[in-house]
Chain A
Amino acid sequence: MGMVSASTLRKIQYLLGIVLVVVLGIHLAFRWPSYEESITYTAAISHIQAWDFLYAAVLYILLYAALTHGLIGFRTLLLELWHWRYARVTVDVVLIMIGVVVAIVGTIALTGTILALIH
């Protein structure tokens, strides 16, 4: 990537790694005490219905942080294995596209759910 140096990418990845441990920990903690109960419809939307904006923020941060951290890491792995002439451009473009698409889908679903439930 001509614009961003490799160490800046790593700095972002490491900082997001720390953020992720916290945020993912919270997301997993919400499965307490029983996993099966926490994935029923009522349990899943109960936090949004209760206007628990903190948890909604956690979900947003989790989505973007996990995608960025994961895709930077995946890019590192792929660029270590592939060295053909257009490897760098191809990997960058494909991974950025996947990241943007998944982020948009997740944002639409999450925002729509919040807006629909707090009416």
Chain B
Amino acid sequence: MAKREVKRVPPKWSLWFKGLDEWLLIFQKVSGAILILYLIGHTLVISTALNLGHPIPLTWNTIIGMAEGPAVYGHAHVGTIIEYLIALLAAVHGANGIRLILTQYFGITLPRPERHTFPRAVPSVKKTGQSWLKYIAVIVILIFLILATLVAFVW
């Protein structure tokens, strides 16, 4: 073994850029980190706005006013846009998460191991069952996107 610390060969990013599953992996982790930080902030802000148990309109309006920021688009504030993006992040994280839970916990769409087909077998990640779950997740996210845009910006 070499005495000095030899660093690992760096990865080939091009291999991972062309795969949807690789993007979803990174997205799940990054969105999860952002969401937990948002959750901590959101809980503390709302708790402060409720005056820690003694709700009065003055405290609520002051704190929520500060968190929302100025109005930038019609009646939508800066805070509205941020919360809209966070809600979208949660929707994608949730839809992909349900897909992962169905596959890994309940084993839905996991094929049974079987003899190889000739000449090359199809890896399980490319079989139709897994694709169906991804399409359903995309449709759910699109529905959420439409509803959230209506609620936040139009109505």
- The answer to whether A17 touches B54 (Cβ under 8 A) is no
Measured between beta carbons, the chain A residues less than 8 angstroms from B48 are: 109
Measured between beta carbons, the chain A residues less than 8 angstroms from B101 are: 14, 17-18
Which positions in A face B, CB cutoff 8 Å? Answer: 11, 14, 17-18, 20-21, 24, 28, 31-36, 39, 41, 44-45, 63, 66-67, 70-71, 73-74, 77, 98, 102, 105-106, 108-113, 115-117
* B contact residues, range: 35 or more
- Grouping DSSP codes into helix (H, G, I), strand (E, B) and loop, the A interface class, with mixed when no group exceeds half, is helix
Identify which of residues 76-129 in chain B touch chain A, using a CB-to-CB cut-off of 8 Å. Answer: 76, 80, 83-84, 87, 90, 94, 97-98, 101, 104-105
Measured between beta carbons, the chain B residues less than 8 angstroms from A112 are: 50, 52-55
How far, in whole Å, are A63 and B47 apart by their CA atoms in the complex? 12
- The answer to whether A113 touches B39 (Cβ under 8 A) is no
- The answer to whether A113 touches B44 (Cβ under 8 A) is no
Measured between beta carbons, the chain A residues less than 8 angstroms from B46 are: 106, 109
